Structure 1
């Protein structure tokens, strides 16, 4: 099982130099993916612009745009941007597509909240694939390019926590970009079972199964649970503060590296392909602390993280 690390893009006042430091440390470590997602009505970096930067800052690690909401973009332009990113990083791009859960993001770009449907998501995924295949969808003198680095384009995962969306996405997605609010292994296992069954019923190859969770380490924080709580107060600004405060005591993971190791073991046992950790603070020491843990896990099993093998053979 691989472990991915998310950039601290949802922290307040993120400095570009800090993002680059995180990216370079992640790329130098044993991580499977460098991850980040999309929001519009927030102070995080634009996801498509940041993809270009991390493509330049890294050379090995998979770049996982964990959640892109295609309804917030013109689909042909989005296909062009993602194909460009895939070329810039040499085919290391993975894209999670989801409908999003914040109406204010739709309003900020004048998108129709009524398009937030599973059918709409599938239609936009199909447009991406058709543009990447070289179809001329615009009637212009040339098809919209560039072609992506890989012939079929970047890996497309469905970003969801829901069973129905997972089942519907078996028609078009390569796998699941999941999220577990409470680092709940049993809940994740149940969703993975839904995905495996849906992909098999659709006659598709077995799906790639990933999940993500917030984390804070006792080795890098005086009070890791308080760190998670403070992060959620900032990140979940669209929710009533009372609801955030009720969620915070059980959200994500807050504990020691040894306890995180045990949790990763449990995710590995249910067949997780990758756990993607979401930091709740900007201290880059977290990257190195978890890197040592991941390296130790790989050494104990004699199996290197899969993207390391991919990068060395590419």
Structure 2
């Protein structure tokens, strides 16, 4: 389950309630994403110490979906994520990607020309060296703290395309993609690309995760909820384009229909589905939990 970090009017109690409800089960992971030029909470601060996700939960894995390394100094990012791994007791998984918006790069003074898989891989190499305890600066000691998980938190590449999946096989432990239209055949094709790429790289089978927006309810209300969310979240896209894609993007339907969709993803070997809320209504989490319990 993904935190409602892209919804308006968030406050501490709402975020805490969501985190605790997800942690109570039966969800396997608690996810949240990163944007800069938006009014969402800052991703790494949300991971941190006082009153944040690592402190509010005890069981679920914490998954960033996704952090964009090019928006951060890689040494500092490695230190922040290692700190999050320590504070969560080794429950952190780091989904990373290049991002889809130049405005986020420009907001922090990052060069949009670095929005490439190669540039991301270079930063991943630095982060892994930090987590391995190498001295990569002239400091007296290596940059710490050492992460709880040996070698650092597992990395998943957030992507929609086969080329990016292949390029990540040498350093990622899996993929954390997104499906817009819930097309199982297309998703399975991408999973096959990952399986083949990981095999060719001599690695273990990849962790296969995908995500989609969801709204549970009856009648037209769920689809209208998804539409409202997309108009807010996809504010960099002309509204008429969002209007055109909204009827077929994500899941909008009843709990039984969601169960059938999840069964379909399970049938193609999906290890994990990250549900993305389109409302801050915690009732949506509880209704989804009833569905997910069948798969626990």
Q: What range is the shorter-chain TM-score in?
A: over 0.9
| Counterpart mapping for 1:171-190 below 5 A | 171-190=170-189
Gaps of 5+ in 2: none
Kindly provide the CA deviation profile for residues 12-43 of structure 1, in whole angstroms up to 9, marking residues without a partner as x: 12122111100000000110100001000000
Q: TM-score, normalised by structure 2?
A: 0.97
Q: What is residue 274 of structure 1 aligned with on the other side? A: 272
Alignment partner of 2:244: what SS?
A: helix
- 1:285 is paired with a residue whose SS is helix
Matched, 1:12 2:11: no
Aligned to 1:64: 63
- Map of 1:35 onto structure 2: 31
From 19, 40, 44, the counterpart of 2:40: 44
Q: Hey, what does 1:236 align to over in structure 2?
A: 234
Find the residue that maps to 1:260 and give its secondary structure. helix
The aligned counterpart of 2:89 is: 90
Instruction: Name the counterpart of 2:160.
Output: 161
Aligned length: 293
Matches within 5 A, 1:143-154: 143-154=142-153
- Per the alignment, residue 106 of structure 2 pairs with 107
**In the alignment, structure 1 residue 77 sits paired with structure 2 residue 73:** no
Structure 1 unmatched ranges of 5 or more = 299-304, 306-314
Aligned to 2:122, the other structure's residue is in SS state helix
CA RMSD, 1 decimal: 1.0
Residue in 2 that maps onto 1:22: 18
Q: How do 1:219-230 and structure 2 match up within 5 A?
A: 223-230=221-228
Deviation at 1:222, TM superposition (A): 6.4
Q: Which residue of 2 aligns with 1:262?
A: 260
Partner SS state of residue 263, structure 1: helix
Runs of 4+, deviation exceeding 4 Å: none
